[in-house]
């Protein structure tokens, strides 16, 4: 069932995000894509670097954000309060995808294998929907699943 979440999250976000593209809105430019890519990649790096970056992380979240992590809902206020405790994550490997659906709507999807201190590696998969609000990209929806990397199956 866990692997189904990894498949369903990006499919659902892609379907929802694609709807505005069919509505005849202004075409997306290379500048839109490049600008969003910089914001999304910068946010991901700030987040992985941990709570020391709260002054840059929190303003990227929309105040009415809907976030779910491992099945638990988080509000903007809870994120603001927890942010200083975000651990620094040493990224071992990462894969990401993003798309700008309309000049003011985009999504990104990131899965990373990381290590915190001397703990065994973990995996985090995040899907985010972004909206440009007053000229700034903000995360309006975020779904995150974190956990240990399963041990390889042994023959038998």
Distance set, CA 48 to CA 86, 92, 106 (Å) = 8, 11, 21
Q: CATH code at 98?
A: 3.10.450.50
The closest alpha carbon to 109, from 98, 99, 117, 101, belongs to: 98
> Is 153 domain-assigned?
no
- For residues 16-27, one letter each, b for 16 or more C-beta atoms within 10 angstroms of the residue's C-beta and e for the rest, the string is ebeeeeeeeeee
pLDDT interval class at 11 (50, 70, 90): very low
d(CA 38, CA 24): 26
Number of domains comprising the chain: 1
| Mean residue pLDDT across the chain | 87
Residue 156 lies in a domain: no
**Which pLDDT belongs to residue 24?**
53
* Lowest model confidence (mean pLDDT) among 10-14, 50-54, 108-112: 10-14
Q: Is residue 155 part of a domain?
A: no
């Amino acid at each position: 069932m866990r692997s189904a979440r990894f498949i369903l999250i990006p499919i659902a976000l892609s379907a929802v995000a694609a709807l505005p593209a069919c509505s005849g809105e202004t075409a997306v430019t290379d500048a839109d894509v490049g600008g969003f890519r910089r914001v999304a990649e910068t946010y991901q790096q700030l987040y992985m670097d941990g709570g020391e970056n709260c002054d840059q992380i929190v303003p990227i979240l929309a105040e009415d954000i809907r976030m779910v992590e491992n099945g638990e809902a988080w509000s903007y206020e809870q994120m603001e309060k927890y942010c200083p405790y975000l651990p620094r994550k040493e990224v071992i490997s990462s894969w990401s995808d993003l798309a700008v659906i309309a000049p003011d709507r985009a999504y990104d999807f990131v899965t990373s294998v990381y290590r915190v201190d001397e703990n065994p590696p973990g995996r985090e998969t995040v899907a985010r929907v972004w909206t440009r609000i007053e000229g700034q990209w903000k995360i309006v929806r975020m779904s995150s699943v974190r956990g240990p990397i399963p041990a390889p199956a042994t023959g038998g």
